[in-house]
Amino acid sequence: MGKRSNWALPYLIFLILFVALPLILIALYAFRDGNGSFTLSNITKFFTDGDALSTFAVSIEVAVENTLICLLLGYPAAWILANRDLNKSAVTAILFILPMWVNALMRTLATAELFNSLGFTLGKGTLIFGMVYDYLPFMIYPIYNVLQKMDKSYGEAAADLGATPAEVFMKVTLPLSKPGIFSGILMVFMPTVSTFAISEFLTNNKIKLFGTIIQENINSSMWNYGAALSLFMLVIIGLTTILLGGEDREIEGGTL
Amino acid sequence: MKKFFAQAYLWILLILLYSPIAFIAIYSFTEAKAFGNWTGFSTKLYGNLLTGNITGGHGLIQALENTLLIALVSAVASMILGTISAIGIYHLRGRKRKAVQFLNSLPMINPDVITGVSLFLLFVFLGFSQGYLTVILAHISFCTPYVVLSVLPRLGQLNPNIYEAALDLGATPAQALWKVLIPQLRPGMLSGFVLAFTMSLDDFAVTFFTRGTIGLETLSTFIYADARRGGLTPELRPLMTLIFLIILVVLGLLNTRQGKNAAQNHINL
């Protein structure tokens, strides 16, 4: 038995080299200047860089709005898909993930072109709705998975004991589907807060998101400042994950 | 009545989700250079694509070949590495297992940009010259976790005695692995492979940061460069339409061949 656990060793080395070390390097580069000596200037630069700060705020706002819209549109869809009385065919569920196989940039450009030809001016509105197109499946899927595996007898028991359908939903279905909602939020919020290219396409270069600022700095060889910006992004991601993940574990523990 | 409204809601969402793809497909049947212009029905762009006579030269075909090559190599490598590692992780206990699983989950949580930047810094730090090899290594690093997560649950469902029985009956560990363990893990490995292939195919940010300056283009970076220049290569429209149709046909075949089970398995991808 002990021997086969060694099979994880090559991958552990691979993970340390290609996952852990690169993340450590972000932190390392963030606190160095061009000559390699320690400095806090990259960090302080961010707090005095008006462009970066406002982009950061806009990114968070757009990501929150996008996540909320995806949740509001996606939850009912997932609920219908998982409900055998309302939807018998598994094919409908597959139809929701199929678009993901078409190149995301191409789809985004087509969305922008579509908005354009319908007479919408490209800007914040098209940015948010364009992103909903891109990320809605990521919200629907985890919620659908949780709802599908949910033990239906809890809801039936509540109904037998006199709960109205609305009460069953609010007090049984919704709380039990929390893990799905949290991973859906994670899967939509993370990519939207950090996306680059997509925002430029959807707004005709009017609105930049945080990912773009990182990319611009890295591409113009401002590696240290780029690394510092990435570090801020990592902190946001880490906090979100802990916030949602911690709650997640509590819910999972609480289901029995 | 309730069912009617429920189905109507789903179909409205689906129509919205598919409208950009339909838009691409419709405009693949016109010759106009600019996406969104209609200059009458024509199949010329399909002709161009099939004969290789593409606006702006061979870049698009080269990008398609690169994309497929990188996706295939990364997915095969991830499948092998991920399966072996899943077996290892399954036999780990306690803190060690938690540590490996935590590291394994990082590439899935990390946004693409961060993965891209961090790997870029790694290759700069190690002095690797960037190109095919670095892109493939980067893709393996974010694809393998999906294979591990597809294979691990299968291991839990296996009867461990079958492997032990093979050993008792004189099989070498390699034979037992190849003839007993792998066949039972095949469905998990396959869905891991499909996931890895898809993730690699669709990647933009990680490729963008790790491809170096040798002019390596995949479909995503090609489309990005095209859009920055202010005009998409018109032949991208028929190409994307064909790719989508191929996926539809493949999934349709899988579905009719294996019936509803396949569909259910697919959903659990």
Q: Could you tell me if residue B31 is inside a domain?
A: no
Q: N- to C-terminal Cα distance for chain B? A: 32
Mean pLDDT (chain B, rounded): 88
Q: Residue A250's pLDDT is what? A: 37
Q: Residue A251's pLDDT is what? A: 36
Give CA–CA dist B102/B85, Å, rounded.
14
Please report the residues numbered 103 through 142 in chain B whose beta carbons come closer than 8 angstroms to any beta carbon of chain A.
Answer: 103-104, 106-107, 109-115, 117-122, 124-125, 137-138, 140-141
**Do B108 and B195 lie in a common domain?**
yes
Pairwise pLDDT comparison (B268 vs B81), residue with the higher score: B81
Question: Which residues span the domain enclosing B145?
Answer: 58-233
Give CA–CA dist A77/A83, Å, rounded.
10
**Do B108 and B67 lie in a common domain?**
yes
Tens-digit pLDDT profile for residues B35-70? 888 888 988 889 888 888 887 778 899 999 999 999
How close is the nearest chain A Cα to the Cα of B125, in Å?
A: 8
ipTM: 0.86
Inter-CA distances, B141 with A18, A246, B83, B128, Å: 6, 26, 14, 16
What is the CB neighbour count within 10 angstroms for residue B86? 28
Q: Could you tell me if residue B21 is inside a domain?
A: no
Tens-digit pLDDT profile for residues A95-129? 888 888 888 999 999 999 999 889 888 888 899 98
Closest of B17, B14, B71, B18 to residue B195, by C-alpha: B71
A51 with A249: CB under 8 angstroms? no
Q: How many domains does chain A have?
A: 1
A124 with A204: CB under 8 angstroms? no
**Burial, B14: exposed, middle or buried (Cβ in 10 Å; 0-12, 13-18, 19+)?**
middle
Cβ separation A133–B20 shorter than 8 A: yes
Give the CATH number, domain containing residue A175: 1.10.3720.10
Q: Residue A252's pLDDT is what? A: 35
Q: Residue B36's pLDDT is what? A: 83
CA B124 to chain centre: 26
Closest of B230, B206, B205, B225 to residue B215, by C-alpha: B225
Pairwise pLDDT comparison (B126 vs A86), residue with the higher score: B126
Mean pLDDT value of segment A74-79: 94
Compare CB distances from B103 to A15, A26, A96 and report the shortest one's residue: A15
Pairwise pLDDT comparison (A167 vs B259), residue with the higher score: A167
Coil, strand, or helix at residue B30?
Answer: strand
Beta pairing partners, B41 = B30
Long-range contacts of B52-58 (CB under 8 A, 24+ apart): B54/B233, B54/B235, B55/B233, B55/B234, B55/B235, B56/B233
User: Which amino acid is it at A76?
Assistant: P
Q: N- to C-terminal Cα distance for chain A? A: 32
pLDDT band of residue B200 (cuts 50, 70, 90) is: very high
How close is the nearest chain A Cα to the Cα of B250, in Å?
A: 12
Percent over 90 (pLDDT), chain B = 53
Give CA–CA dist B74/B147, Å, rounded.
11
Q: Could you tell me if residue B225 is inside a domain?
A: yes
User: Which amino acid is it at B142?
Assistant: F
**Do B120 and B248 lie in a common domain?**
no
**Do B240 and B140 lie in a common domain?**
no
Q: Residue B261's pLDDT is what? A: 52
Read off the DSSP letter of residue B203. -
Q: How many domains does chain B have?
A: 2
**Do B125 and B215 lie in a common domain?**
yes
Tens-digit pLDDT profile for residues B218-260? 999 999 999 888 788 999 999 999 999 998 888 888 777 655 4
Mean pLDDT (chain A, rounded): 86
B45 with B238: CB under 8 angstroms? yes
For A126, half-sphere exposure in the C-beta direction (CA atoms, 13 angstrom radius) is 26
Q: Check CB contact of B26 with chain A, cutoff 8 Å.
A: no
User: Which amino acid is it at B197?
Assistant: F
CA B45 to chain centre: 26
Q: What is the 3-state secondary structure (H, E, C) of chain A?
A: CCCHHHHHHHHHHHHHHHHHHHHHHHHHHHCECCCCCECCHHHHHHHHCHHHHHHHHHHHHHHHHHHHHHHHHHHHHHHHHHCCCCCCCHHHHHHHHHHHHCCHHHHHHHHHHHHHHCCCCCCHHHHHHHHHHHHHHHHHHHHHHHHHHCCHHHHHHHHHCCCCHHHHHHHHHHHHCHHHHHHHHHHHHHHHHHCCCHHHHHHCCCCCCHHHHHHHHHHCCCHHHHHHHHHHHHHHHHHHHHHHHHHHHHHHHHCC
Give CA–CA dist A6/A12, Å, rounded.
10
Cβ separation B100–A15 shorter than 8 A: yes
**Burial, A220: exposed, middle or buried (Cβ in 10 Å; 0-12, 13-18, 19+)?**
exposed
**Do B238 and B149 lie in a common domain?**
no
Q: Residue A127's pLDDT is what? A: 93
Query: Which segments of chain B does DSSP mark as H helices, in order?
Result: 2-26, 44-51, 59-91, 94-109, 112-126, 132-157, 160-168, 173-176, 182-202, 205-210, 219-229, 236-267
Residues of B in contact with A91 (CB under 8 A): 255, 263
Cβ separation B119–A16 shorter than 8 A: no
pLDDT band of residue A17 (cuts 50, 70, 90) is: very high
pLDDT surpasses 50 at B269: no
Percent over 70 (pLDDT), chain B = 95
Q: Residue A39's pLDDT is what? A: 86
Q: Could you tell me if residue A41 is inside a domain?
A: no
Cβ separation B88–A241 shorter than 8 A: no
Question: Which residues span the domain enclosing A244?
Answer: 46-252
User: Which amino acid is it at B76?
Assistant: V
Give CA–CA dist A106/B240, Å, rounded.
8
Q: Check CB contact of B255 with chain A, cutoff 8 Å.
A: yes
What is the CB neighbour count within 10 angstroms for residue B137? 19
Q: Could you tell me if residue A13 is inside a domain?
A: no
Closest of B93, B73, B68 to residue B220, by C-alpha: B68
The helix (run of H) or strand (run of E) holding residue A119 is none
Among B11, B17, B95, B239, the strongest candidate for a mutation testing the A interface, having the largest count of A CBs within 10 A, is: B17
Q: What is the 3-state secondary structure (H, E, C) of B69-129?
A: HHHHHHHHHHHHHHHHHHHHHHHCCHHHHHHHHHHHHHHHHCCHHHHHHHHHHHHHHHCCC
Mean pLDDT value of segment A44-60: 89
**Do B203 and B160 lie in a common domain?**
yes
Compare CB distances from A77 to B9, B104, B247 and report the shortest one's residue: B9
Give the CATH number, domain containing residue B101: 1.10.3720.10
**Do B212 and B264 lie in a common domain?**
no
Instruction: Tell me which chain B residue has its CA closest to the CA of residue A80.
Output: B6
How close is the nearest chain B Cα to the Cα of A81, in Å?
A: 8
Instruction: Report the range out of A6-10, A64-68, B52-56 with the highest average pLDDT.
Output: A64-68
Cβ separation A4–B103 shorter than 8 A: no
pLDDT surpasses 80 at A186: yes
Q: Residue B258's pLDDT is what? A: 58
Cβ separation A137–B220 shorter than 8 A: no
**Do B67 and B129 lie in a common domain?**
yes
User: Which amino acid is it at B176?
Assistant: A
How close is the nearest chain A Cα to the Cα of B269, in Å?
A: 10
Coil, strand, or helix at residue B188?
Answer: helix
Tens-digit pLDDT profile for residues B138-165? 999 999 999 999 999 888 888 878 888 9
Cβ separation A90–B7 shorter than 8 A: no
Percent over 70 (pLDDT), chain A = 95
Q: Could you tell me if residue B53 is inside a domain?
A: no
**Do B180 and B258 lie in a common domain?**
no
pLDDT band of residue A255 (cuts 50, 70, 90) is: very low
pLDDT surpasses 70 at B97: yes
- Name the least confident of A211-215, B1-5, B253-257: B253-257
The position carrying tokens 């050993």 is: B167
Give CA–CA dist A117/B59, Å, rounded.
28
**Do B99 and B114 lie in a common domain?**
yes
Cβ separation A98–B248 shorter than 8 A: yes
Cβ separation A104–B204 shorter than 8 A: yes
**Do B107 and B156 lie in a common domain?**
yes
Q: Could you tell me if residue A148 is inside a domain?
A: yes
pLDDT surpasses 50 at B185: yes
The helix (run of H) or strand (run of E) holding residue A137 is helix A124-149
Could you tell me the two tokens for A158? Answer: 């509540």
Q: Could you tell me if residue B45 is inside a domain?
A: no
Tens-digit pLDDT profile for residues A234-249? 998 888 888 887 444 4
